Structure 1
Amino acid sequence: MFAFVSGWNDASNGPLLPRIQKVYNLNYAVVSLLFVFSCVGFISGAIGNVFLSERVGFGKLIVLGSALQAVGYSIQAAAPPFPAFVFGYFVTGIGLALQEAQAVSYVAKMKDKAELKMAIFMAASPGAVVSPLVATHFSTVPRWSFHFLTSLGISLANVVILSAVFRFKKQDECLAQIGVPAGDRGTSNRGEFRQIIALKEVHLLALFILFYVGTEVTLGGWTISYIINVRGGGSSAGYISMGFFGGMMVGRLALHWVNEKVGERRALIAYAVLAIALEFVVWLVPSLAGDAVAVASIGILLGPMYPIAMNHAGRVLPRWLLTGSIGWIASVGQAGSALLPFMTGAIASKAGIATLQPILVGFMAVMTGFWLLVPASSHRHD
């Protein structure tokens, strides 16, 4: 259920951005503050997760995160003044960070067919496919903010389901129930956060995820504005966002056999090169239909990258630091989800939204470079 809600949240922004700009009379740079506040909330939640994970426990913390997400949506649904509206993104960001760190580390600690389980978990986000349909509808009606009432209802269902399934138990208890024994907790006397920060693998993976998430959010968030203003698309251009996020969901499942056959590391490099080539197609070929197909295909290629990176984290990082490490990596990624779209919005305010495609090509190239720097060895620090 968390994967559904997370996908729903991420895919809502693109179709709604033009309407939010119009309602609040904002330029590209100012409306990008939505991404910034979401990022600040996510980083706050991720840092809090490091310190709260052992003290509060998996079951309680993941439910707390889902409850905070519901609070954020309740603020946004009222369409308050813009400062309060962006504060809703901050609260939602905290909630998503707590849930993601706990959920991804839970899956990463599974033993049998861990890669397949991670791919299924990451792909179980039809919310990212449905959300653009709903958001595109609400972007054209007077009560546009009622989209967030729909989000609120889904997030409340998430609270109930997470409470019923995990029953506020510790992570080791939940894993033991499915036959996964508790791992070594380590012998270092240093604090957990200091141990995490000392690992170069954490920082390289975090930088890769920063550009990956930033590219994903920039593409999913700004492409609709690009299609409307540069390619002459109408309000139905929001459905292109559905194709992108639907492609990501399909790619995470359909390309799993490729990952197994050629190796996840090589597969990710191949996906990145092909995605860059398709981004050149969107940039240089002035075809609305062609752009829609290319964007969906880029989604298919980008889709497997996040689960591949998280699987790699599970292989190269100490098991007892995995929850905190993934929380930190994800929080840096969310920094990218604010920094890169904000940079794009600031540049678009000066040079026009037509600059989106060369910017995305640059982001993808840097992302690929950081992946090449991530150690391929599965050596642990255990």
Structure 2
Amino acid sequence: MPQDLAAPVPGNGADENRSAPITPLESPKEIMAIEEAVPALAQQETDTQPVTKAMRHRAWIQFATLCWSIFVVGWNDGTTGPLVQRLQEVYHVSYAVVSLIFIASCVGFISGASSYLYVTDRFGFGLMVFIASFMVAIGNSLQASGSQFPVFVIGFLFVGFGAAFLDAGSNAFVASLSGDTSTKMGVMHAIYGVGAMCAPLISTQFAQLRRWSFGYLVHVGLVLMNAAFQAFTFRFKSEAECLEEAGEPAHEKTEDSLKGVNKYKQIFSLRAVHLMAFFLFTYVGVEVTIGGWIVTFVINERGGGASAGYISSGFWGGLTIGRLALLPINKKLGEWRVIFLYVLLSLALELVVWLVPSLIGGAVAVSFVGFFLGPIYPIVMNHAGSVLPQELISGAVGWMASFGAAGAAVFPFVTGALASGTSINSLQPLLIAMMGLMLVIWAFVPRRRIKST
């Protein structure tokens, strides 16, 4: 038999290769397909690179900076309550007039809410939170001057605008992280509670001094420290760049984004975003109304003395503890269900504050109201991250946080207006009605991730 017709020997790889036909890539389409696949494979390898130790270190620095920002926001929210009586004495104004500080804060918050999405995309997350810190510092400086009442009110306008950015930016950043963010969200908002709890301890002392407004100098120092931390950590970069430095993968784009649909149009077309925003609007209103007016209520309706300001610290302290202590229950019962439980318990305790004429009993009940209200805000933020399309989480949570923060101004003003026409006892039925509204709104919030389009 001729050699070239002999069968190849099994197991001889070289002979097998020689016997296989060789087909040249003569088609230009096949060559182009391979050339396009090579960079795609390289990009895939880049996206799946393991998170390094340096990235993890950077992520923790970022988280610590965000916690400090939230601490500053909490400090500002917790200061006002013990000072309301002092403001009325110094400026000789009624409940309705002193409530103008909440209106100014509301205007500032709504202005920040309306512009947050655009300016952070336009100028970058890192730059805008840095500028926001200086806006808060300007407002605190006007407050610390102890000048005429209109100047003091204008200070709240600056504080509201800057705080809206700090609050929204911190929540949006943490909600955008991959994996289970419930613990980080809970810890960050517990830090908010620490700030809101510590602030009344300082403002109660300054409220009894002749230079009562100098308490706001502490605010200026804290917020300038915040600006320095942000400049060092985020270095005026965009949120996407900061997340990339921490090893976070890029978010998958929605079908609408691939078609060129504006991201903000997508966000505002989602019913869930508006439901959660109005829920937070009401919740934050309840939270800050209690912290801002409970001292006045206790002094006028329960015969509390100058030390009644510490009851506000009890409320914020309960809120702080609840955000950490109730984390296991949140996970066991499910975050969507547990909201109903916490709101109902808070409502029942608020009835005790209203109907039981006891100073000590009311003070204890207020602390437990804070305990059960505490976990609700971080739960909502975390729930938003689990039900909204990934690409839209940052913008949606930013809008929810900043719009919700406006409730911190609207409802305290309504309380002051009602108290001016009747008495501060109107605080309790208003709070109970707001809690009932929270139950209704939350029932319509979706429980599962919305399909991206």
TM range (shorter): over 0.9
Q: Distance in 2 between matches of 1:188 and 1:29?
A: 51
| Alignment partner of 1:140 out of 194, 203, 208 | 208
Post-superposition offset of 1:188: 4.9
Report what 2:231 is aligned to: 163
Note if contact 2:200-2:313 (Cα within 8 Å) is conserved in structure 1: yes
Note if contact 1:138-1:146 (Cα within 8 Å) is conserved in structure 2: yes
Cα deviation digits, residues 8-60 of structure 1 (max 9, x gap): 01100100111111111111111111111111111111221111112111111
- Structure 2 residue 262 is the aligned partner of structure 1 residue 195: no
| Alignment partner of 1:120 out of 161, 181, 187 | 187
| Alignment partner of 2:92 out of 25, 29, 40 | 25
Report what 1:297 is aligned to: 368
Cα distance change, pair 31–196 in 1 and its aligned pair in 2 (3 A): same
Report % sequence identity.
47
Cα distance change, pair 22–352 in 1 and its aligned pair in 2 (3 A): same
Q: Distance in 2 between matches of 1:189 and 1:29?
A: 48
Report what 1:210 is aligned to: 281
Q: Distance in 1 between matches of 2:118 and 2:176?
A: 20
Q: Distance in 2 between matches of 1:18 and 1:322?
A: 41
- Structure 2 residue 177 is the aligned partner of structure 1 residue 106: no
TM-score, normalised by the number of residues in structure 2? 0.82
- Structure 2 residue 252 is the aligned partner of structure 1 residue 184: yes
Q: Distance in 2 between matches of 1:190 and 1:44?
A: 25
Note if contact 1:50-1:192 (Cα within 8 Å) is conserved in structure 2: no
Cα distance change, pair 355–178 in 1 and its aligned pair in 2 (3 A): same
Q: Distance in 2 between matches of 1:144 and 1:322?
A: 42
Post-superposition offset of 1:189: 3.3
Q: Distance in 2 between matches of 1:22 and 1:194?
A: 48
- 2:406 aligns to what SS in structure 1? helix
Q: Distance in 1 between matches of 2:438 and 2:81?
A: 22
Unaligned runs of 5+ in 2: 1-67
- Structure 2 residue 146 is the aligned partner of structure 1 residue 59: no
- Structure 2 residue 245 is the aligned partner of structure 1 residue 174: no
TM-score, normalised by the number of residues in structure 1? 0.97
- Structure 2 residue 112 is the aligned partner of structure 1 residue 41: no
1:1-382 correspondence to structure 2 within 5 Å: 1-125=68-192, 126-185=194-253, 186-382=257-453
Post-superposition offset of 1:274: 0.4
Post-superposition offset of 1:128: 1.3
Note if contact 1:205-1:371 (Cα within 8 Å) is conserved in structure 2: yes
| Aligned AA (1:225) | T
Unaligned runs of 5+ in 1: none
Structure number with greater CO (CA < 8 Å, separation at least 6) is: 1
Note if contact 1:172-1:181 (Cα within 8 Å) is conserved in structure 2: no
Q: Distance in 2 between matches of 1:128 and 1:331?
A: 18
Q: Distance in 1 between matches of 2:451 and 2:204?
A: 46
Post-superposition offset of 1:320: 2.6
Report what 2:52 is aligned to: none
Note if contact 2:286-2:434 (Cα within 8 Å) is conserved in structure 1: yes
